[in-house]
Structure 1
Amino acid sequence: MALPLTLIRVVVLSTSILLALIDMALAAAVTSTSTQSFGVYFPYAALAIAAAILTFLTLPAMIALEISRPGGPTSMIIVEISWLFFLSLLWLATGADAADFNSVGFWFACGRPELQGSVDIGACHEISAIEAFAFLNWIILLAYIGTLLVMSLAAASRKHTGVWTSSVANAPFGAPAPAVNLTPMSHGGQVAGVGGHSAGYSAGNSVQAGTVHV
């Protein structure tokens, strides 16, 4: 089970990096247009650039460290879930802010084509693309986080308490619960004692030395 999830992890993180690259390019284009046309920049564009930079700085390192040092602190499942959840919130905020900006339609006259010039039309398309790719990045990361969390909880319920500090590659997702060592009982309710002797309980709850049967 760990091998498919490892492959899914690489695909998800690589896709997130690609979407972040697209979003950053779109946000940079909108920022360039807005500063030239109005002398301002918009919060959703700045947030998209910031989220993309954090994605670029961390996700490639997470992929590389999982391959080179799968047992390192940055590869721990609890660290990965926490950081990816934070990134997903940034992308959610980016998409929501871009959607709100697009719905207002004041800047670039988005939603009012009769008032738009060619620059406005291009900017509105870029804003819609920022919104779409940001939400897509959020959905992909959240789906992976949910899958990883469910599998980790399932492993922890099987007494694999160290799953949270292990890496995805080494996590015991498909491993059965560890065997419980029980003290063997001899016939007659006697328990093996120290030094090869057996000890039994009499009717008066006193311990009596037994005999060793060969």
Structure 2
Amino acid sequence: MHIIALVRYPVFASLLLFSLIVLGIDGDLVSKLKGGCFFFTCDSPPSYPRLGVATAVLTFVSVVPLTIIDILRRGAFTSFIIVELGWFFFLWVLWLATFGDTAGAGCDSSLADGTNICSEVRAAEAFSFLAWILLFAYWVALFVFSTIAFSKGNRKIWITSARDADFSGGSGAIPGYQSSAIGPSSQQPYMTQQQQQQQNQFPPAVGAV
């Protein structure tokens, strides 16, 4: 089993755990920083906890169904490597923005009653960073291994699940195709087993008129 298939579900589980932590922390910060209310009008909280809540919720509502579908059904388009790369690229950009926005909030914020929220802000910042670096590392590894498999002749790698993909280039490879840096001259002609048997049974006559 390939390393991508081994680490895939642990990466998803860790990402969901980090998302749950960020959702709890930033949700609490939104409730604390919403300010005073007058009838139905309330002061808006800062942008960083709202972005953290949105990113965590979006991660949950996408990664959980993706994982369940991948476990229950093989060959679903949501499990295609090209779909996974596209969506996870969007998610790690969101987590990077969440981390940057939270880090720029500073550590001198306090509530009206004097309660300091520095520890919560720093915790949200730390787990946002962990979620981003985890997604980014997985995305880079999946992209690199898929590109290598494609260069070896596996033309179906992009529409294969990462769980079932053959990153060695064997499954879905073009018959007779051999990857080489020398050029097209290194590609050997493809011959079926039946053709090889016929050639061995009836060798070409040399010098026949």
- Give percent identity, aligned residues only: 32
Using structure 1 for the length normalisation, give the TM-score.
Answer: 0.75
Distance 1:56 1:140 in 2: 15
Q: Which runs of 5+ in 1 are unaligned?
A: 110-115, 185-191, 203-209
Matching residue of 1:12:
11
Matching residue of 2:165:
171
Matching residue of 1:154:
148
Once superposed, what is the RMSD of the aligned Cα atoms? 2.9
The higher radius of gyration belongs to 1
Distance 1:59 1:142 in 2: 15
Using structure 2 for the length normalisation, give the TM-score.
Answer: 0.77
Please state whether the residue corresponding to 1:108 is helix, strand or coil: coil
Distance 2:54 2:205 in 1: 71
**Structure in which a larger fraction of residues adopt helix:** 1
Residue among 115, 123, 133 paired with 2:127: 133
Question: Offset at 1:108?
Answer: 2.4
Residue among 76, 91, 94 paired with 1:90: 94
Matching residue of 2:179:
none
Distance 2:174 2:27 in 1: 53
Q: Which runs of 5+ in 2 are unaligned?
A: 37-41, 177-188, 193-198
Distance 2:59 2:113 in 1: 34
Distance 2:32 2:77 in 1: 42
Which amino acid in the other structure matches residue 18 of structure 1? L
Matching residue of 1:30:
29
Matching residue of 1:100:
104
Please state whether the residue corresponding to 1:169 is helix, strand or coil: coil
Matching residue of 1:61:
65
Distance 1:182 1:6 in 2: 31
Distance 1:128 1:168 in 2: 34
Question: Offset at 1:118?
Answer: 5.0
- C-alpha deviations, 1:170-210, integer Å up to 9, x for none? 211135466514459xxxxxxx7xxx89699x9xxxxxxx6
